[in-house]
């Protein structure tokens, strides 16, 4: 029996099994003590096994059981309609396997809104947590990546919710990035006390009164990438825009490298000469590399992979799920929130 | 007599005259029909003239009169204290010269909060405009830059204010970038109708009912740089974070190029070989290059240059001031807002 079971939504993303299967197979090879439940249409998944001549006699298949699901959540389906209908979808069945403790974590690159809705209604939030948050690790100039949350689970947030995000982010930085006392900051339009909107100013006060969080104050947008903090907290609207706009700029740089280097023979030569250098930089700032956002605050681990993610990115997201499941992140968040609540009595 | 007079805050920014003066001089040389009023401490400014052996006999000095000001607004001064005190500051005197119609536009790289407060209280908003907005032109994959507003003039916005931003941005794109029918979009966390917070959804409805604006719907953060729209509207909190976080990522890329290229002899050679290519890309994504934000919606043209801007960036901001003054942007915004208001009757 495997130590750990991870549920995978094989039908998620723009492509489905041709992208998700290679990642699942690579994960099964890399983590020999983990079982992967493959949720999706059995024909499509079996086709991927056959294409690679993998049969029952290969040991690996026993750790990759298929859980046949009739339905698929489309990228354009509204969360409400997915909740009401699509009860046989691979995404819902995957979430239910975590709810029923048949798996310790799950990964999908499907429709974000539907995944969040299903996770929220089936898994429920931990006690003391109002709303789940979507968190991702962004590259920085320093040694560690920075945990940025919320990236869009909740477009409006109260000050209390922002504070809970700080507590959850801090646990994640401790458990996943092994940072002993993570520096927690609030994203704001300036560093002075007078700056910011009402929720941010109120959250600042709550953080200042909480001893169990290493709160360092406000940071500005430029500081997301400058290693100024280990955890940066903001509402889901702003966080989503910060993530996407920096992604947009990274893409502009990548396109600009391509465009400029194709301008003439000379620039093609220049680009070729510097290719290993450009690739290293690309790997550090390419949004695909920081793919794999965790939905935290729930009674189970849910990882969201980009909808247009490559197999490599989906593989990376599976690795993140394994890491969070092993570290028992939900249990640790629960314990941490209880400490904070006791502190406030 | 000159066609146009531009007021410059020579004491603004982290450095003052050593950075602002070379830009003013270059502008006086490049625009022979423009007079520049130099607001600041006369000794510091005269020192810059003397250093370059420029005397009264040189014609250029007659187009660069010094307006002596005893006080300087510090980068850390609160807007409220600047409004109450510092009545003799170069920033305030500069704004007052626009108010009294002694200059048609002004430029400062000083304290943003103080500049916005002074501009708002002295110049007042145009009728039909609730709040001024800070707008800048960001690089895109397309031929045109995109006008992004608000970048932090108002951290909270009503739906009506967002709509007014769209009208103002549209005028700016028409007048400054010569785009006949600028595509106006609302920044949101997704493109579907159900996405977004209450203000954004309400603003979407107002835009849909306004025939005089070429509204194209929602865009996401990634699309700021993809040439999906000519004008992108958001509240000052989100806009500031979008601007700063993409700036932060651009800086990360630049630092990464430096860091990686200094790793070994080989990588140094690679970087050297590709230097002209890297420089071109740098020039396109370097935030200094899109320096010069316009404060619009006021009865006068006010340009904000970065506090740590180079002389080149300050020169670019002066060029923007000349362009907006020549195009009579405030008058055009006034006319456009009146059209929209009539439409709603």
Mutation to test the A interface, candidates B82, B162, B235, B248, most A Cβ within 10 Å: B248
C-alpha atoms less than 13 angstroms from C-alpha of B24 in its C-beta half-sphere? 33
Tokens linked to B154: 């108002």
- Given an 8 Å threshold on Cβ–Cβ distance, is A226 in contact with B248? yes
Element containing residue A184 per DSSP (H, E): strand A184-187
In a domain, A93, yes or no: yes
For position B2, what pLDDT does the model report?
A: 55
- Give the integer Cα–Cα distance in Å for A236 and B196: 10
- Given an 8 Å threshold on Cβ–Cβ distance, is B189 in contact with A240? yes
User: How many angstroms away from the CA of A256 is the closest CA of chain B?
Assistant: 6
**A252 vs B141, B198, B257: nearest CB:** B141
Q: Does B136 touch chain A (CB under 8 A)?
A: no
Task: Specify the length of chain B in residues.
Answer: 345
- Given an 8 Å threshold on Cβ–Cβ distance, is A249 in contact with B252? no
**pLDDT range class, residue B269, cuts 50, 70, 90:** confident
The yes-or-no verdict on residue B186 having pLDDT over 50 is yes
B56 plus B113 within the same structural domain: yes
The yes-or-no verdict on residue B140 having pLDDT over 80 is yes
- Given an 8 Å threshold on Cβ–Cβ distance, is B221 in contact with A248? yes
- Give the integer Cα–Cα distance in Å for B326 and A167: 53
Q: B-chain residues within 8 Å CB-CB of A76? A: 192
- Given an 8 Å threshold on Cβ–Cβ distance, is B252 in contact with A155? no
A92 plus A185 within the same structural domain: no
Q: Does A251 touch chain B (CB under 8 A)?
A: yes
A302 plus A282 within the same structural domain: no
Mutation to test the A interface, candidates B150, B242, B249, B276, most A Cβ within 10 Å: B249
How does pLDDT run across A167-205, given as a tens digit for each residue? Answer: 999 999 998 889 999 999 999 997 666 678 889 999 999
- Given an 8 Å threshold on Cβ–Cβ distance, is B246 in contact with A241? no
- Interface ipTM > 0.85: yes
CA angle at B14 for the pair B310 and B8, rounded to the nearest 5°: 70
The yes-or-no verdict on residue B17 having pLDDT over 80 is yes
B225 plus B343 within the same structural domain: no
- Give the integer Cα–Cα distance in Å for B306 and B313: 8
How does pLDDT run across A128-145, given as a tens digit for each residue? Answer: 899 999 999 988 888 888
- Given an 8 Å threshold on Cβ–Cβ distance, is A234 in contact with B225? no
Q: Taking a contact as any Cβ pair under 8 Å apart, which residues of chain B between 105 and 124 contact chain A? A: 113
Mean pLDDT is lowest, of A90-94, A315-319, B256-260, for B256-260
**A253 vs B242, B253, B255: nearest CB:** B253
B285 plus B301 within the same structural domain: no
Identify the DSSP state of B89: B
A269 plus A328 within the same structural domain: no
In a domain, A321, yes or no: yes
In a domain, A344, yes or no: no
Q: Which residue of A has its CA nearest to B197?
A: A155
- Give the integer Cα–Cα distance in Å for A307 and A40: 16
User: How many angstroms away from the CA of A281 is the closest CA of chain B?
Assistant: 6
- Burial of residue A311 (CB within 10 Å: 0-12, 13-18, 19+) is middle
- Mean pLDDT value across residues B136-153: 90
- Given an 8 Å threshold on Cβ–Cβ distance, is A241 in contact with B234? yes
In a domain, A26, yes or no: yes
Whose CA is closest to B184, among B244, B255, B135, B116? B135
Whose CA is closest to A21, among A36, A32, A34? A36
A98 plus A143 within the same structural domain: no
**pLDDT range class, residue A1, cuts 50, 70, 90:** very low
For position B337, what pLDDT does the model report?
A: 85
Mean pLDDT is lowest, of A36-50, B141-155, B218-232, for B141-155
For position B254, what pLDDT does the model report?
A: 81
Tokens linked to B282: 């740098």
- Mean pLDDT value across residues B238-242: 94
In a domain, A345, yes or no: no
**B256 vs A234, A247, A281: nearest CB:** A281
A104 plus A142 within the same structural domain: no
Q: Does B282 touch chain A (CB under 8 A)?
A: no
- Mean pLDDT value across residues B18-24: 95
- Burial of residue A100 (CB within 10 Å: 0-12, 13-18, 19+) is exposed
Size of interface A-B (CB pairs under 8 A): 179
**A270 vs B194, B274, B285: nearest CB:** B274
Residue A188 contacts residue A218 (beta carbons within 8 Å): yes
Q: Which residue has the higher pLDDT, A264 or A162?
A: A162
* Mean pLDDT of the residues in chain B: 90
Q: Does A262 touch chain B (CB under 8 A)?
A: no
A141 plus A261 within the same structural domain: yes
Please identify, among B268, B290, B312, the residue that sits at the C-terminal boundary of a domain: B290
**pLDDT range class, residue B284, cuts 50, 70, 90:** confident
For position B289, what pLDDT does the model report?
A: 59
For position B268, what pLDDT does the model report?
A: 81
CATH number at residue A32: 3.40.718.10
Domain count of the fold of chain B? 2
In a domain, A141, yes or no: yes
Tokens linked to A206: 């709550």
User: How many angstroms away from the CA of A151 is the closest CA of chain B?
Assistant: 9
User: How many angstroms away from the CA of B229 is the closest CA of chain A?
Assistant: 14
- Give the integer Cα–Cα distance in Å for A55 and A48: 11
A194 plus A254 within the same structural domain: yes
B322 plus B195 within the same structural domain: no
B119 plus B141 within the same structural domain: no
The yes-or-no verdict on residue A58 having pLDDT over 90 is no
For position B277, what pLDDT does the model report?
A: 75
How does pLDDT run across A271-304, given as a tens digit for each residue? Answer: 777 777 777 777 777 666 556 799 999 999 999 9
Domain of residue B166, residue span = 137-290
In a domain, A339, yes or no: no
Q: B-chain residues within 8 Å CB-CB of A240? A: 189, 220-221
* Mean pLDDT of the residues in chain A: 90
**Which residues, 6 or more positions from A100, have their beta carbon under 8 angstroms from its beta carbon?**
none
For position A211, what pLDDT does the model report?
A: 87
- Give the integer Cα–Cα distance in Å for B123 and B137: 23
How does pLDDT run across B29-57, given as a tens digit for each residue? Answer: 999 999 999 999 999 999 999 999 998 88
Q: B-chain residues within 8 Å CB-CB of A242? A: 221, 241-242, 245
Q: Taking a contact as any Cβ pair under 8 Å apart, which residues of chain B between 8 and 67 contact chain A? A: none
For position A2, what pLDDT does the model report?
A: 55
- Mean pLDDT value across residues A256-271: 80
């Amino acid at each position: 029996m495997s130590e750990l079971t991870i549920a995978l939504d094989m039908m998620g993303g723009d492509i489905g099994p041709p992208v998700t299967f290679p990642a699942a197979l690579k994960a099964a090879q890399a983590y020999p003590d983990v079982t992967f439940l493959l949720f999706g249409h059995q024909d499509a998944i079996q086709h991927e096994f056959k294409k690679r001549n993998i049969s029952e006699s290969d040991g690996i298949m026993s750790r990759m059981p298929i859980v046949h699901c009739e339905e698929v959540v489309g990228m354009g389906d509204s969360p409400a309609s997915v909740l009401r209908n699509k009860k046989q979808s691979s995404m819902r069945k995957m979430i239910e396997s975590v709810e029923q403790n048949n798996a310790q974590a799950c990964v999908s690159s499907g429709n974000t809104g539907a995944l969040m809705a299903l996770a929220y209604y089936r898994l429920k939030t931990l006690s003391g947590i109002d709303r789940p948050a979507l968190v991702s690790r962004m590259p920085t100039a320093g040694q560690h990546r920075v945990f940025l949350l919320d990236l869009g689970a909740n477009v409006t947030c109260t000050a209390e919710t922002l504070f809970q995000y700080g507590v959850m982010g801090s646990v994640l930085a401790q458990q996943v990035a092994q940072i002993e006392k993570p520096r927690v900051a609030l994203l704001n339009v300036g560093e002075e006390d007078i700056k910011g909107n009402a929720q941010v100013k109120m959250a600042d006060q709550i953080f200042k009164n909480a001893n169990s969080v290493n709160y360092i104050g406000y940071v500005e947008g430029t500081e997301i990438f400058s290693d100024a903090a280990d955890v940066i907290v903001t509402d889901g609207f702003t966080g989503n825009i910060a993530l996407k706009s920096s992604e947009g700029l990274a893409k502009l740089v990548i396109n600009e490298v391509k465009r400029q280097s194709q301008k003439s023979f000379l620039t093609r030569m220049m680009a070729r000469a510097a290719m290993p250098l450009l690739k290293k930089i690309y790997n550090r700032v390419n949004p695909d590399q920081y793919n794999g956002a965790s939905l935290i605050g729930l009674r189970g681990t849910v990882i969201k992979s980009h909808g247009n993610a490559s197999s490599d990115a989906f593989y990376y997201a599976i690795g993140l799920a394994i890491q969070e499941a092993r570290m028992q992140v939900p249990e640790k968040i629960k314990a941490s929130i209880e400490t904070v609540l006791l502190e406030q009595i």
